[in-house]
Structure formats: C-alpha cells, structure tokens
Amino acid sequence: MTTETTKLKMKVWFALAALGLAAFLATTGGRALAARWLRSLRVQKVQAVNVDLTAFSDPNANPALHQMVAAMISDKVNITANEKDQPADDAAAAGRLAGFQVRLLKARKDAPKLVVTGQHAVRVNVDRARLQEIIKAAGHPEIVLPDSIEGSAFTVQLPRMVHARYGNCPTPVTATNAIASQVIETPSSGTEYADCIRLNEGPSPIVGVPAGLDIAKLAEIGLQVAGMTPSQADDFFHTVDWKSTLTLSVPRRLRSFEQVKIAGVPGTLLTLSGRRGPGYTLLWAKDGITYALIGYGDASRAVALGDSLQ
C-alpha cells in the first residue's frame, strides 16, 4: 500500500512538473529564457566579417583569404566595421561612393551592373599556441613565434571596392546552393556563362600586424590550402602584393599559373579547372588600385580585356 502511494505521489509530481514546464514555455519570457539557455550549451561564434559573397564567390571558391588568415590567428574575430553595399548607376557615381576613379572594360560594349561594397574591418587577437600549431602543420616547424605576440592585435581594414558585372553570370551563391552544387556536381553547359565577366577594383586593404608575426607566410599557407603548390604560392607573392590578395576568394581548382604583362605592369593569370566556376582570374595592381578580372570564357582573352581598362 505504501509503495503504491509513493508511486502515485511520484506520478503526480511528474505530472505537475511537466505541467509547470509547459506553462513556463507557454510564456514569451519563458521561451526566451529557454532559448538563451539552449544557446549557452553551444559555443557562440563571432562571425567573420560579412563580405558580400555574391561579388567574390562562385561554386568553386574558398572563403576570402583574409577570413582564412583571421581564422588561423584566432577562433574569435571581432568585426569593427561592416558597411552595406550600394548599387551605382555608372562609373562616375561608383567612383564618388568608393572614393577613387573607377575604370571599366572598354572592350565590352554592354553596360555593367555596378556595386560599391561597404568598408569592412576586423580585429583579431593573436592566439599564439593556435598559430604555432598551424605553422607547424604547414610544414614550418623551424618558425618559432615570439611569446610577445600572444594577445596582440591583428587588424584588417577592407576599403570600399567596386564590383562590375558584365553579361549573363551565374545566380549569386548562397551557402545553401553552393553546398547543393558541390553535392550534385552539375556540369555547366560551357557556353551558358561564356560572356560573364566580373571586374573587382579597389585599394589594397590596410593591415596592422604585430611585430614578429609574418602574415605573408600565413597568406601563403592560405593559398596552399586553396590549392596552390608551395612554389606557386611563393611565385604568386613575388608578382602580387600579398595585401591585395587578402580580399580574394581563392579558387579551389587551379590548373595553371602564369605571370603576364598587363597595362604595362606585371600581372598574374590563374587558369582554373573547376567544371562549375569561372575559367580564369587575372590579377594586377596599378596606381595603388588592385584589379581582379574573373571570367567564365576563354582565358586567352583575359589580358586583352584587362588592357582595355579605362
């Protein structure tokens, strides 16, 4: 009898507790508290700077190099500036918004769609142990980071840039359809986006590096992660200002890499082998402005297109 009474009491207590919980969750405050508690059970990650993926990315792309470098330095990235992007009607309007003279492809007769990306800035405090491990993993056990860099600040300011899009380009990539395209592996028709050209131009990022930290080496590791061989990554940095590469989302499937002359300055032509993404990326810098020309068509036309900039 006593056992039966105890069992009954237990059932009543359970029922009351369940009712109490249901009543608590029925209130807005209760649900908010429950949501807060559930969130506390997972590590809240600070998102990397919200650069507009549509302008930089394609189904073949890695994250932008500065995001990769920041992630190597620490798992906590603080966003200190994150302006919105703005469309512009013409080169003059884009230039006024961006703060530099915008140059467009004379070889293209069609009018481009212009977007001025907002200014972005991130600050990362160096986690020395993490970084040391990554450098070791990258095959450089001989590099020993000084203790003094622990906690010191690494900052990247990405100035406003102009993105010009010509022709019929693929739908802007979202995280979902990027993953879907990776899984489904749908080959593009080859000619569907043949006239698509993207031109990105803007000043080099402003980078604040603590003494003793070789960011160029980290950027080189990032390029290797993206698919370049160590010698390609090394050559790449001999032709391109490494700071200018920080805004690039480095393609995953690199077929070849060559140095070219463009508008009287040295440039770098990356030919890509991805079935879905662009066919080439041409990079060069002139008069303090960095240019990236990304095309889906024939790579042999890239230099001529770049030369037509005015």
Partner 1 sequence: MAGITFREAARKRILWTALIAGAGFLMVFGVGLHLQIADFRASTPAFVRYQILSGMLMVGLYTVDLLAVVMTILTCVDTLAGEISSGTIQAIAMKPMGRWQILIGKWLGFAGMLAVYVTMMFGGTIAVVQSVAGMTPQHPLRGALLVFLECLIALSVCFMFGTWFSTLTNGVIVLGLHGLAFMGGWLEQMSGFTEGERLSLAGTVVSLLMPTEAVWRRAAFEMESPLAGSLPQFAIFSDVSLPSPAMIGYAVFYLVIVLSVAIYHFQQRDL
Binding residues for partner 1, per CB under 8 A? 3, 6-7, 38, 40-45, 62, 68, 71-72, 75, 127, 130, 133-134, 136-140, 175-176, 179, 221, 224-225, 229-230
In the complex, the smallest distance separating the C-beta of residue 83 from partner 1, rounded to whole angstroms, is 21
Q: In what order do the strands lie in the sheet with 86-88?
A: 86-88, 113-117, 161-166, 197-203, 289-295, 280-286, 265-272, 254-262
**Nearest CB to partner 1, comparing residues 51 and 303:** 51
Q: With residue 64 as reference, give the H or E element that holds it.
A: strand 61-64
Shortest distance (Å) from residue 239 CB to partner 1: 20
* 218 or 270: CB nearest partner 1: 218
CB nearer partner 1, residue 62 or residue 117: 62
Is the Cβ of residue 73 or residue 302 nearer to partner 1 in the bound state? 73
What residue type is assigned to position 303 of the chain?
V
Beta strands in 167-245 (DSSP E): 197-203, 206-208
Which DSSP category does 111 fall into?
A: P
Task: Give the C-alpha separation, 251 to 226, whole Å.
Answer: 7
CB of 279 to partner 1, least distance (A): 22
Angle between helices 215-226 and 230-239 (to 10 degrees): 130
Give me the least distance between CB of 18 and partner 1, in Å please.
15
The rounded distance, in Å, linking the Cα atoms of 93 and 86 is 11
User: Is the Cβ–Cβ distance between 299 and 280 less than 8 Å?
Assistant: yes
CB of 42 to partner 1, least distance (A): 5
Whether the CB-CB separation of 170 and 58 falls below 8 Å is answered with yes
Q: Which is nearer to partner 1, 28 or 231 (CB)?
A: 231
CB of 68 to partner 1, least distance (A): 6
Of 181 and 281, which has the nearer Cβ to partner 1?
Answer: 181
* Residues 6+ away with beta carbon under 8 Å from 41: none
Minimum CB–partner distance for residue 176 and partner 1 (Å): 5
User: Counting beta carbons within 10 angstroms of the beta carbon of residue 212, is it exposed (0 to 12), middle (13 to 18) or buried (19 or more)?
Assistant: middle
SS3 97: helix
Nearer to partner 1, 108 or 140 (CB): 140
